[in-house]
A and B are shown apart, each in its own frame.
Chain A
Amino acid sequence: MQKTLYLFASGRLRRKDNTICVESEEGTKYFPVTSLRDIVVFGEVDLNKKLLEFMQENEVVLHFFGHYGNYVGSFYPREHYNSGYVILRQAEHYLDPGRRLNLARKFVEGALANILQVLRYYQNRGKDLAPYIEPIACLAGDRLSLCGNIEELMAIEGNARAYYYDSFNIILEGAPFVIKGRSKRPPADPLNALISFGNSLIYTKVLTEIYKTHLDPRIGYLHATNFRRFTLNLDVAEIFKPIFADRVLFTLVGKKMIGSGDFKRHGAAVLLKESGRRLYVKELEDKLQTTFYHRRLKRNVSYQTLIRLELYKLEKHLIGEETYEPFVSRW
């Protein structure tokens, strides 16, 4: 199983002896390229083109995060799986309003179904979540199937998420943090900081997996394709955010692994400190490497692989082999 390297150290990231080497104050460390999938850089590293060339050869994606934990961008190496056919099918599905809406709806459907699954889990553990589950289930049902355009879809998703984020206070009863609605740019409280950080990691995770398929990350369906950035990963990430990012958040906060000492205030923003980010990343990686029995494939797969499988399903849908149905967690 290929690994993700999370780089918090500052120093020099370089190609040395045909592998990856980090030279920092804490010493020099080598990382085997053959078992590397991507690198997520948080530290202030220096790197050169030689490294980028090497990354391209080895098909390793680099993701950069800024000083405040904001997503800066990715080094998306030259595509190695080229398929004009798939790109055309992707564009075709984008341009046809009916087909685009259909796909966008599937993403929202998947996202809401997984949100409900997470809420039901906590309901079974004695939390009073019925006042949240009902409206979300209502939105996920008729409202979703009736809506006729992308804007309506986005609105439904937004409403559902508003209920969902409110429910965090019930799920995390007794935790030192409370959430007063979702706030981004900047996140106003620790829980919002965790949500934002988690979501941006999931986006990069999905992007890395897209790199390993024929899909073009620039053509998204729910999130409008525009001139500047990747959007397909945002679409697919919608499905996985509740089951990966939010569950990691509940573990960290619920088990009191993360405390107010792991956050810092910066003006109106609440940001994760390095210690907090390390905790999060560790927990997320553990989650992604957990395997479970996949009913259809009849074998164990990890959550990381699950992301790729989702993309394959999407590819199949685009080339007209099989209708896409989003992954819905059963547990």
Chain B
Amino acid sequence: MYVILVYDVNVARVGKVLKIARKYLNWVQNSVLEGELTEATFRALKADMERIIDPEEDSLLFYVLGNQKYAKRELMGIKKGGEEWIF
């Protein structure tokens, strides 16, 4: 599945959230990451996040797409990050 993660968390935890997210997903731009995950890795990602966020203050949004084929991404302005496997 293709997952887009958008987060808005307390400054005390942005760094932590970003670090965990980078283990699983590709950084796209500030507070946005995306990538292809399996059911299991997606669950692992959520479990990792649950441990550090404060459910009263923080907000994480996962957009789960069954397949990337049905999504179209348009970019305006500069490209900041993304999925690249040839570097």
Contacts and interface: CB of A to CB of B under 8 A. Distances in A.
Contacts of B70: none
Given A19-B22, A35-B37, A30 B87 contact: no
A17 B23 contact: yes
Nearest to A22: B87
Interface stretch (B6-14, B24-32, B51-59): B24-32
Interface residues of B, number: 18
Interface string B32-56: 0001110001001100000000000
B19 interface: yes
B85 A4 contact: yes
B86 interface: yes
B87 A3 contact: no
A262 interface: no
Secondary structure call for the A interface: mixed
Given A17-B22, A19-B22, A34 B87 contact: no
A34 B85 contact: no
Contacts of B45: 34
A18 interface: yes
A278 B37 contact: no
A9 B85 contact: no
A22 B84 CA distance: 12
A35 B35 CA distance: 9
A4 B23 CA distance: 15
Majority SS at the chain B contact face: mixed
B58 to A, nearest CB: 19
Interface string B46-84: 000000000000000000000000000000000001001
B78 to A, nearest CB: 13
A32 B37 CA distance: 10
Nearest to A4: B85
Given A17-B23, A34-B24, A285 B85 contact: yes
Contacts of A8: 86-87
A29 interface: yes
Interface of B: 19, 22-27, 35-37, 41, 44-45, 81, 84-87
Given A3-B85, A35-B37, 16 more contacts: A4-B85, A5-B87, A6-B86, A17-B22, A18-B19, A19-B19, A19-B22, A22-B87, A29-B81, A29-B87, A32-B24, A32-B25, A34-B24, A34-B37, A35-B24, A281-B86
28 contacts: A4-B85, A5-B87, A6-B85, A6-B86, A6-B87, A7-B87, A8-B87, A9-B87, A17-B19, A17-B23, A18-B19, A18-B23, A19-B19, A19-B22, A22-B87, A29-B81, A29-B87, A30-B22, A32-B25, A32-B26, A34-B24, A34-B37, A34-B41, A35-B36, A278-B86, A281-B86, A282-B86, A285-B86
Interface of A: 1, 3-9, 17-19, 22, 29-35, 278, 281-282, 285
